[in-house]
Amino acid sequence: MTTAPERGRRSVQGGSPIRTTYRTYARVRTRVLTVERPGASRSGVRYVMFHGYCDSADTWRRLLVEFAKAGEPALAVDLPGFGEADPLRPGPILPQLDAFVRAVVRAQARLGDVVLIGNSLGGTVSLRAAQRSAPRLAGVVSIAAPGLSDTWLVNTVKRYPLPLRLYGSLPLPIPDRVVRRVVDAVVPRLLYAQPRGADDEDARRFVQLFSSNRSVRERLAQARQLTSEFDERLYQPELITAPLLILACGRDRLVRAEGGRRLHSLVPHSKLVVHDDWGHCPQLDHAPEIHQLVRYFVRRSRRVGVRPPRPLTERTAVDRHAAAG
């Protein structure tokens, strides 16, 4: 049975609507996946998407297609150190990501109002961007951002480096075939609410990053460095004045849904949606639902506006410190 296409939505049959280009932001050359609306007005909203740790812009392909169907301009970029972007430079990681995101937002703001959508680490950098004065930032959608209520797995990497050091100092390397077998079993469970096989297209993208003993050690060391930067200064929720939609996932094995609830309590004008049956990367299997949530959030925010946040009080500061701990 076929139905008439939804009003305002475009057909994307006959090939992908996603265009691949390469741009340089903050001295980092990166890949950009874009869908454009022909003759887009400079006053229109542009959606900018940031992926999570060890992911790439490819994680947003399904959501990009949804935006293309609706005739809405959107883009996703590879963050520094991931996908086809230039490697991270030596030194702290978060300042490099902040500078990169700031440059992307500044470039897109020349074309219209900007709404940021970030998953996991991408949610973190989007929230941090919202803490600064950014021109034409019309909203932020944070999906499973870490640092407020993480699972034991993330906390182990962050707080207990000894197991990682022991792994890295083993006198004999673990055979690559053993590493791949373990990765094949673990990665799909981290991505989805309902685990899939390692031959799944998106799971395979992650698995390829951990194809050898050496690659696992390098990525674990990088993860340890990154999470060591997750301290009480990671988020300053009292500085967020842009509209904020928080998506929390009940079957997330990396970031608890409680993290979304805590963030919502610290940003009073935010909107919170909790999906008990979603995993850590819901854009992989719930792109249409996310698209509808984002569109409704943006329309409502632009129609009614957002009340200014409450002033920072001693109680708010205590709550924020507790949430970050």
Going from the C-alpha of 196 to that of each of 189, 192, 284, the distances in angstroms are 7, 7, 12
- Segment 8-32 mean pLDDT: 82
Does 61 or 187 have the greater pLDDT score? 61
Q: Give me the percent of the chain exceeding a pLDDT of 70.
A: 69
According to the model, what pLDDT value does residue 107 have?
A: 96
DSSP label of 237 = G
Q: Is the per-residue pLDDT at 178 higher than 60?
A: no
Query: Is residue 311 one of the residues assigned to a domain?
Result: yes
pLDDT tier at 218, thresholds 50, 70, 90: confident
Query: Is residue 299 one of the residues assigned to a domain?
Result: yes
* Contact indicator for 107, 101 with CB cutoff of 8 Å: no
- Segment 71-100 mean pLDDT: 97
According to the model, what pLDDT value does residue 244 have?
A: 98
Query: Is residue 278 one of the residues assigned to a domain?
Result: yes
According to the model, what pLDDT value does residue 213 have?
A: 63
- Segment 89-93 mean pLDDT: 96
Find how far residue 276's CA is from the centre of its chain.
Answer: 19
Angle at 56 between CA 123 and CA 41, to 5 degrees: 70
Phi, psi angles (nearest 5°) of residue 23: -135, 165
- Segment 244-257 mean pLDDT: 93
Query: Is residue 222 one of the residues assigned to a domain?
Result: no
Closest by CA to 10, choosing from 31, 51, 53, 39, is 39
Find how far residue 106's CA is from the centre of its chain.
Answer: 19
CA atoms within 13 A on the CB side of 18: 19
Find how far residue 112's CA is from the centre of its chain.
Answer: 21
Q: What is the largest CA-CA distance in the chain?
A: 64
- What residue has token string 């928080």? 246
Domain count, the chain: 1
Does 285 or 153 have the greater pLDDT score? 285
Query: Is residue 225 one of the residues assigned to a domain?
Result: no
The CATH number linked to 287 is: 3.40.50.1820
According to the model, what pLDDT value does residue 3 have?
A: 35
Query: DSSP secondary structure string, 238-274?
Result: GG--S-EEEEEETT-SSB-HHHHHHHHHHSTT-EEEE
- Segment 295-317 mean pLDDT: 62
pLDDT tier at 324, thresholds 50, 70, 90: very low
Query: Is residue 203 one of the residues assigned to a domain?
Result: no
Counting every residue, how long is the chain?
325
pLDDT (tens digit per residue) in 146-174: 988 776 566 666 554 544 444 454 444 55
Q: Which domain holds residue 155?
A: 19-164+237-324
Q: Is the per-residue pLDDT at 191 higher than 70?
A: no
* Contact indicator for 123, 142 with CB cutoff of 8 Å: yes
Does 231 or 165 have the greater pLDDT score? 231
Query: Is residue 213 one of the residues assigned to a domain?
Result: no
Does 63 or 133 have the greater pLDDT score? 63
**191: CB partners within 8 A, 6+ apart:** 202, 203, 206, 279, 280, 281, 284
Which amino acid is residue 209, in one-letter code? L
Average pLDDT value for the chain: 80
Helices and strands (H and E) in the chain: how many: 11, 8
Tokens of 18: 């996603």
- Give the span between the Cα atoms of 199 and 219, in whole angstroms: 21
- Give the span between the Cα atoms of 207 and 228, in whole angstroms: 24
According to the model, what pLDDT value does residue 16 have?
A: 87
Query: Is residue 178 one of the residues assigned to a domain?
Result: no
Q: Is the pTM of this model over 0.85?
A: no
Does 63 or 8 have the greater pLDDT score? 63
pLDDT tier at 290, thresholds 50, 70, 90: very high
According to the model, what pLDDT value does residue 240 have?
A: 96
